[in-house]
């Protein structure tokens, strides 16, 4: 899958969305969800979306609107050593603030332990919550899921 590459400069500027939409399907709730018109699908509805990073303000309204759970948020400079990731999560039970869980890559491989910072429920059709997790900065672009297995 080709990623919509983001510059280090934009990452360091503040919270921003990342889209990793894997398949060409006729779908565009992400485009409609963005109040800044920062999400673009060019040419045809089946093309995968891209983010205009000059327009994205990191509001993350788009995250729970994606039926494919393909939108994430990142606050790269959350602390000196950690980024804060915003991950869509449909499962129950929800994790809780302070839980130490496994962060997984998009194939389910364990990457590193993460700490749950906040859980926000959304009024979305799929009962999607947004889980904020603290991750080591080097994994901001790798961790995309959490495993409830605390271990």
Q: Give the residues lining the site for ligand SF4 (CB under 6 A).
A: 17, 19, 21, 27-30, 33-34, 36, 38-39, 49, 51, 56-62, 66-68, 70-71
Smallest distance from the beta carbon of 103 to ligand SF4, in angstroms? 21
Q: How far apart are CA 145 and CA 52, in angstroms?
A: 24
Smallest distance from the beta carbon of 52 to ligand SF4, in angstroms? 8
Residue 17 or 143: which CB sits closer to ligand SF4?
A: 17
Smallest distance from the beta carbon of 45 to ligand SF4, in angstroms? 9
Smallest distance from the beta carbon of 27 to ligand SF4, in angstroms? 3
Residue 2 or 96: which CB sits closer to ligand SF4?
A: 2
Smallest distance from the beta carbon of 150 to ligand SF4, in angstroms? 29
C-beta separation of 63 from 75 below 8 A? no
- Of the candidates 134, 137, 78, 66, which has an alpha carbon nearest to the alpha carbon of residue 101? 134
C-beta separation of 31 from 39 below 8 A? yes
Residue 23 or 121: which CB sits closer to ligand SF4?
A: 23
Mark 3-32 as b/e (b = at least 16 C-beta within 10 Å).
Answer: ebebeeeebeeebbbbbbbeeeeebebbbe
Residue 68 or 112: which CB sits closer to ligand SF4?
A: 68
Helix, strand, coil proportions of the chain in percent (round to 5)?
A: 10, 30, 55
Residue 19 or 116: which CB sits closer to ligand SF4?
A: 19
H or E, element range at 50: strand 50-51
């Amino acid at each position: 899958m080709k990623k919509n590459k983001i510059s280090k400069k934009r990452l360091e500027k503040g919270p921003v969305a990342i889209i990793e939409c894997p398949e060409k399907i006729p779908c565009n709730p992400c485009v409609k969800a963005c109040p800044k018109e920062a999400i673009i699908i060019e040419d045809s509805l089946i093309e995968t979306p891209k983010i205009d990073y000059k327009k994205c303000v990191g509001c993350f309204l788009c995250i729970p609107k994606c039926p494919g759970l393909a939108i994430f948020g990142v606050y790269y400079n959350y602390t000196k050593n950690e980024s804060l990731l915003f991950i869509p999560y449909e499962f129950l039970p929800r994790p809780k603030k302070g839980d130490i869980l496994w962060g997984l890559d998009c194939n389910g491989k364990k990457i590193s332990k993460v700490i749950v910072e906040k859980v926000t429920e959304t009024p979305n059709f799929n009962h999607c919550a947004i889980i904020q997790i603290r991750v080591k900065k080097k994994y901001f672009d790798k961790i995309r899921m959490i495993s409830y297995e605390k271990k």
